[in-house]
Structure 1
Amino acid sequence: MLTILKDMSLSALVAGFVAVLIGFASSVAIVFQAAQSAGADEGTIVSWIMALGFGMGATCFFLSLWYKTPIITAWSTPGAALLATSLGSISYAEAIGVFVFAGLLTLLTGISGLFDRVMRLVPLPLACAMLAGVLFKFGLAIFDAMTMDVFLVATMLVTYLVSKCFVPRYSVLFVLLVGVVIVLVRSDASLMGSIPFEMGAFVWVWPEWNVGALIGIGVPLYIVTMTSQNIPGVAVMRSSGYQTPVSPLISWTGLTSILLAPLGGFAFNLAAITAAICSGDGCHKDPSKRYIAGLSAGAFYGLAGLTGASVVALFSIFPATMVAALAGIALLGTIGMNLKSAMSEDVHREAALITFLVTVSGVSFLGIASAFWGILFGVICLLLSSIKRR
């Protein structure tokens, strides 16, 4: 406990809060769509939010504490999008069976150590290029948002640039405060008072097994979660210099998915976007003290789960333009760092460039996300280049 208090910093606490804010505000609507597609009523949707909040909170907090590394987990946003279009033809109990099955596949992948061994074969410049490709659209989103709300986004961007010169560790905090102040000034003064802060309730449903759904939905859910979330999540850790064993992390997310699936915790995984916020220089100059951001994120995720029904109303205050700008600004340093690392070595530059371009393109084959194909194309390019050099 004394060590935690000694390592505590405002910038790390803010990084954890910003990660939770962006994680919830940017994609909670997709989770709602997935739950409604499964046939969930209002009370069951609240159970989903609570299960996801507690699951992410527990895994963030305890894994970060154990490994002294900022381990940030998340729900599978592409998985939620897949579920939103796939669950309409099966019962809610069969949907729970799908979640348990996908979690079991993830657990087996972690226990086998296969995922860790494969990721260690990927050169760091290619991992950095893939991560830069994943994050690139968030940087572009700053200026897309600016076309819709020039004053808000431009003020946030100027705040970042000025504070970066004088108080770089707290630049994201100032950006957040400026954004919140502008939003509240523009809004009705009674807006905050209209948010109902209340506890939710869990809804437990035992799984039922539909072989067709397990194969047709469960396997794709597992694949998109591994390729779209866990691969970039590992890249975040590696690019930040953390060599944390991956297999135990994958195993814990799989086990958490299995345990919380009956409550609506459909898929947990390593985060990429929010993890990048918590593992960069903006969080803390000392990498060994950035785990505090993981503890902070875990605590805030837990609070979000505790209030269940209220959290959505709270996050709905913030407009999409503010959330997009905040996410992009918080990730600017990480994008630049990964582009530099990806292109710094001549021997890897072309392969890294192909990895970056394929990932940015968003191309998807066989339902597998572009992050996977970017890595694959980059590795193939690297292998062919090594043959040529011989």
Structure 2
Amino acid sequence: MDMRTEARTTDLERVSPAEGGPGSPRRSAGLTQPILAGIIAAFVGFASTFTVVLQGFTAVGATQAQAASGLLAICIAQGVLGIVLSQRYRIPITIAWSTPGSVLLAATGLIQGGFPAAVGAFILTGVLIIAAGLIKPFGRIVSAIPPVLASAMLAGILLSLCLAPAKAVGLQPGLALPVVLVWAIVGRIRRIWAVPAAVATAVALIVWTLPPGGLAIDHAIPDVVFIVPSFTFQGLISLAIPLFIVTMASQNLPGIAVMRANGYEPPVGPVFLGTGIASVLVAPLGGHTLNFAAITAAMCAGPDSHPDPARRWVASFAGGVAYLFLGLGATLAAALVTAAPQVLIQAATGLALLGAFGGALAGAIGVAAHRDAAIVTFVTAASGLSFFGVGAAFWGIVAGGAFMLLNRKWSR
């Protein structure tokens, strides 16, 4: 275990009863809350982005069977990694597929050599991530990000998602309003059940709105398809290197920032090493890059997961277990969510992230001296801008960091 993590965990266990020691309300909260948080995070993560993943696979030449196999492979891999890493380090390390990477695949399209060449590029990307895990200076650079900027970037990432429930009510009030009302009413009675009740309401409405024929699926568990990789220069230049850069800048950096914003110091090198190896292993089955989660990590690492930070790792563990089941039933889950009105998925996702958004916003504006830099980070991350295939989250940190350095130099 990392010495800083071990020391922090020990300190948490020694705090007074009023702050979460043995016998306190925080300690007696039990495991139900983080388990539910992890399951919900897994459902939200899967439901909100699996269509982007499938679109990316098919854009670079995957057949329907190969795309389903890839989705299954990365679900199983990220579930196993989430279980192992969160239990090993006792902090809420949440693993996800690279959603920005999938967007890159969809934008790149078919390359010479077809899907086998894309699979070769996936393997090369995994090798690059392994190399990043073995180079310690990278972890030190990432850990130097000021917490206020990390919180501001997280708030910017979450803003558009947290606006979704209100937009959904405006678009289809008959479907979205019941979800929001259930969340609000149950939350006044017992906050821990607010999001689960909203998600259950959304699922019930999905089933209610299904066509008479129900879900059109041949079998629930997707077939595993092995693809022989092909290594090409175009695959390296067009896919592998851009996929590595996008994943590191737009996924791993925000994921690490989420952890730090919630008071954790993740073991960057071991996680990079583990996700890199897993990315190499799932590639011949059609899967692509694995990395730190960002949005779902906020759900597992934040106070809504558990009032005691030392117990929030249970949420990531439970989320990993949930992903094993989501992977095995990927075809059924995909059919259910695909058949659902998008406003229901958007409303449930936004409601689940409101707590994380509030915490991130409070952390961003808590230090008056750095408030301007935090606001620059926030608005840039929320803007959705993209340069060179790198998303707004990375540029938010760059803009805010530059503004902070400018202020320091100007004040001398």
For the superposition of Structure 1 and Structure 2, which TM-score range results when normalised by the shorter chain?
over 0.9
Contact 1:195/1:314, CA 8 A, preserved across alignment: no
Is residue 168 of structure 1 aligned with residue 207 of structure 2? no
Shift of 1:128: 0.3
Contact 1:106/1:222, CA 8 A, preserved across alignment: yes
Shift of 1:181: 2.6
Shift of 1:8: 6.0
Is residue 376 of structure 1 aligned with residue 398 of structure 2? yes
**Cα distance per residue 1:13-68 (max 9 Å; x no partner):** 22222222222222222222222223222221221121111111111111111111
Q: Which residue in the other structure is 1:350 paired with?
A: 372
Describe how 1:76-155 pairs up with structure 2 within 5 A.
Answer: 76-90=98-112, 91-155=114-178
Counterpart amino acid of residue 187 in structure 2? K
Q: 1:189 to 1:17 in 2, by over 3 A?
A: farther
Q: 1:155 to 1:30 in 2, by over 3 A?
A: same
Correspondent of 1:38 among 60, 72, 78: 60
Shift of 1:366: 2.1
Deviation larger for 21-30 or 197-206:
197-206
| SS of equivalent to 1:199 | coil
Q: Which residue in the other structure is 2:23 paired with?
A: none
Contact 2:209/2:340, CA 8 A, preserved across alignment: no
Shift of 1:12: 2.0
| SS of equivalent to 2:390 | coil
Equivalents in 2 of 1:64, 1:314: separation in Å? Answer: 29
Contact 1:163/1:174, CA 8 A, preserved across alignment: yes
Is residue 340 of structure 1 aligned with residue 362 of structure 2? yes
List 4+ stretches of structure 1 deviating above 4 A: 194-197
Correspondent of 1:48 among 58, 70, 78: 70
Report the identity percentage: 35
Equivalents in 1 of 2:391, 2:85: separation in Å? Answer: 27
Shift of 1:263: 0.7
Q: Which residue in the other structure is 2:304 paired with?
A: 282
For normalisation by structure 1, the TM-score amounts to 0.93
Q: Which residue in the other structure is 1:222 paired with?
A: 244
Is residue 321 of structure 1 aligned with residue 339 of structure 2? no
Counterpart amino acid of residue 338 in structure 2? S
Correspondent of 1:203 among 225, 233, 248: 225
**Cα distance per residue 1:205-238 (max 9 Å; x no partner):** 2321111220122111111111111111111111
**Cα distance per residue 1:272-324 (max 9 Å; x no partner):** 11111122222221222221211211111111222343331233343311111
Contact 1:24/1:315, CA 8 A, preserved across alignment: no
Counterpart amino acid of residue 120 in structure 2? G
Shift of 1:325: 0.8
Shift of 1:151: 2.9
Equivalents in 2 of 1:95, 1:51: separation in Å? Answer: 16
Shift of 1:261: 0.8
Is residue 269 of structure 1 aligned with residue 294 of structure 2? no
Shift of 1:195: 5.4
Alignment RMSD (CA, Å): 1.9
Give structure 2 stretches of 5+ with no counterpart.
Answer: 1-27
Q: Which residue in the other structure is 1:3 paired with?
A: none
| SS of equivalent to 1:269 | strand
Equivalents in 1 of 2:332, 2:50: separation in Å? Answer: 13
Counterpart amino acid of residue 134 in structure 1? I
**Cα distance per residue 1:335-362 (max 9 Å; x no partner):** 1111111111111101111011111111
Equivalents in 2 of 1:23, 1:186: separation in Å? Answer: 22
Counterpart amino acid of residue 121 in structure 1? A
Counterpart amino acid of residue 39 in structure 2? F
Is residue 241 of structure 1 aligned with residue 283 of structure 2? no
Q: Which residue in the other structure is 2:203 paired with?
A: 180
Counterpart amino acid of residue 102 in structure 2? A
Counterpart amino acid of residue 299 in structure 1? V
Q: 1:340 to 1:117 in 2, by over 3 A?
A: same
Contact 1:196/1:310, CA 8 A, preserved across alignment: no
Equivalents in 2 of 1:101, 1:312: separation in Å? Answer: 29
Equivalents in 1 of 2:37, 2:218: separation in Å? Answer: 26
Equivalents in 2 of 1:87, 1:98: separation in Å? Answer: 13
Shift of 1:241: 1.2
Equivalents in 1 of 2:30, 2:75: separation in Å? Answer: 23
Counterpart amino acid of residue 288 in structure 2? F
Q: Which residue in the other structure is 2:15 paired with?
A: none
How many matched pairs?
384
Shift of 1:11: 2.5
| SS of equivalent to 1:204 | coil
Contact 2:111/2:118, CA 8 A, preserved across alignment: no
Counterpart amino acid of residue 72 in structure 1? T
Counterpart amino acid of residue 266 in structure 1? H
Shift of 1:189: 7.2
| SS of equivalent to 2:163 | helix
Equivalents in 2 of 1:264, 1:272: separation in Å? Answer: 23
For normalisation by structure 2, the TM-score amounts to 0.88
